[in-house]
Amino acid sequence: MNGSAYGKAEGMKATLIHGTHDIRVSSDVPDPVIRDDTDAIVRVLRSCICGSDLWPYNSADDNPQGDRIGHEFLGVIEEVGSGVRNRTAGQLVVAPFVWADNTCDFCAQGLQTSCRHGGGWGSDGTDGGQGEAVRVPFADGTLVPMPGEPDDALLASMLTLSDVFSTGHHAAVSARVRRGDTVAVVGDGAVGLCAVLAAKRLGAERIILLGRHTDRTDLGREFGATDVVAERGDEAVEKVRELTGGDGVDAALECVGYVEAIRTAIEVTKDGRLVGRVGVSQYSDIPLGVGEFMRNVGVHGGVAPARAYIEELLPDVLEGRIQPGRVFDRTIGLDEVPDGYRAMNDREALKVLIKP
């Protein structure tokens, strides 16, 4: 925000998507203001680009006005509405990738992504996260305070609670990963690597990472993967079955979203066990035929209710036992966001951190 002392030049910098491969950073997006008394204004300290931002990046229709984009951010509360009770100006907070009242029946059961009054960033009049500031609806319910005075590395790990690490955790929770399990993770993107870390955290003993980008699977090994399978399709299934004495794994975490990935995940899962899927599905039919019926293999999961997990995951992040922020391999300013999208889309960067 660059509102001058002379009362003009209002407006802030924020990212807009104007169409396929057309990301622009505007300097005169309206400054956010409190609209409902339960709102807060958050000045963004860190944001990032999500693998799921690449879907609109590769498919959006032309839009001269541009749409706000970005749904992962962390920042400092600048102002709160008169109805906000437990959040105050000056607090460092993480915003989960959807906003929610955190009081309705869905929120009470930990499914804030289905909140009866919630919504997504960057749509229906809310700000996107890839900008200088954001109006946050239901500040008490949405925002999670972060303690201490974190350094850059800790801020990066805190930011992953907004989406990518919480999503990896959701894959592991959805597949009911238990202590001592053998787990397969399909996909070596940032979510897949976070799923490795989450499975390890939940006590998985053996973690087979399916991916073929060595630099990424190397980080996966540091996160806890014990085996890497670079093959794809039937060959990958054969390899995983070979590694597990023919039975397959106790849990498979699908972190890609393509039909080939979900098929692989289902085929490597041991009879009676579950696939946790968190890859944004680019398919409408899950291959669950009579073969899978006879094997009692199930598929569970979907969009991750990050808000339900942040408090639980935070202590391990604060104490440095896990460092999910290591998935960020490039840091840019707001002006470089268009190139950040390009770099992630070209698989040149794993995940891009934005410092507005």
Instruction: Write out the residues near Zn ion by the rule CB under 5 A.
Output: 100-101, 104, 107, 115
CB of 104 to Zn ion, least distance (A): 3
Q: Which is nearer to Zn ion, 209 or 308 (CB)?
A: 308
Q: 109 or 214: whose CB is closer to Zn ion?
A: 109
Q: Are 149 and 315 a contacting pair, CB within 8 Å? A: no
Query: What is the bridge-based pairing of β-strands 330-332 and 352-354?
Result: parallel
Q: Which is closer to Zn ion, CB of 103 or CB of 281?
A: 103
In this structure, the chain runs to a length of 356
* Residue 108 CB, nearest approach to Zn ion (Å): 8
Nearer to Zn ion, 102 or 130 (CB): 102
Q: What are phi and psi of 148, to 5 degrees?
A: 80, -170
Q: H or E segment at 14?
A: strand 12-19
In whole angstroms, the minimum distance from the beta carbon of 33 to Zn ion comes to 24
Which residues have C-beta within 8 Å of that of residue 181, sequence separation ≥ 6?
199, 203, 204, 205, 206, 249, 250, 251
State which amino acid sits at residue 350: L
Cβ at position 118, least distance to Zn ion in Å: 6
Instruction: Determine contact, residues 89/77, Cβ cutoff 8 Å.
Output: yes
- In the complex, least distance from residue 116 CB atom to Zn ion, rounded to whole angstroms: 5
Min separation Cβ 143 and Zn ion, Å: 14
**Residue 115 or 322 having the CB closest to Zn ion:** 115
Cβ atoms of 161 and 94 closer than 8 Å? yes
Rg (the chain; Cα; Å): 20
Closest separation in Å from C-beta 107 to Zn ion: 3
Tell me whether residue 115 or residue 199 sits nearer to Zn ion (CB atom).
115
User: In whole angstroms, how far apart are CA 208 and each of 131, 148, 170, 242, 266?
Assistant: 37, 36, 18, 12, 14
Task: Please say which residue, 209 or 306, places its beta carbon nearer to Zn ion.
Answer: 306
Whether the CB-CB separation of 181 and 195 falls below 8 Å is answered with no
Copy the structure tokens of residue 7: 């009362």
In terms of CB distance, is 119 or 298 closer to Zn ion?
119
The alpha helices in 244-328, defined as continuous H runs, are 259-268, 290-295, 306-318
Is the Cβ of residue 130 or residue 142 nearer to Zn ion in the bound state?
Answer: 142
CB of 141 to Zn ion, least distance (A): 7
Yes or no: say if 175 and 251 are a contact pair by the CB < 8 Å rule: yes
Instruction: Give backbone dihedrals phi and psi of 25, rounded to 5 degrees, phi first.
Output: -110, 120
The CB-of-53 to Zn ion minimum distance in angstroms stands at 24
The DSSP code for 208 is E
- As a whole number of angstroms, the distance between CA 120 and CA 113 comes to 9
Q: How far apart are CA 292 and CA 312, in angstroms?
A: 34
